[in-house]
A = this chain, B = another copy of it.
């Protein structure tokens, strides 16, 4: 019971399963909560990661919180952009010792 929260930042450059395995690794190393943080077009990917994780790997994982936010970013050509941010908090219920 470490009560830790770890964050996975979901981008678009890596394949979906990389993020899924990152989540599994974090849960296995004792994290109670894993936050999937994604921005802009990667939001879509983050939701997909949760679905694959739940359906194919660990069905007992639960979505404990979802948050929508915005972030101001300055793009390469100097324009101000407002990017949507989605944070999904996953939690793993503790197995009761028999």
Contact = CB atoms under 8 A, between A and B. Distances in A.
Contact of A82 (B44, B55, B68, B84): B55
A50 B86 CA distance: 11
Contacts of A35: none
A62 to B, nearest CB: 11
B55 A63 contact: no
Nearest to A69: B51
A94 to B, nearest CB: 22
A66 interface: yes
Given A47-B68, A50-B68, 8 more contacts: A41-B44, A43-B43, A43-B44, A43-B47, A44-B84, A51-B82, A66-B67, A68-B88
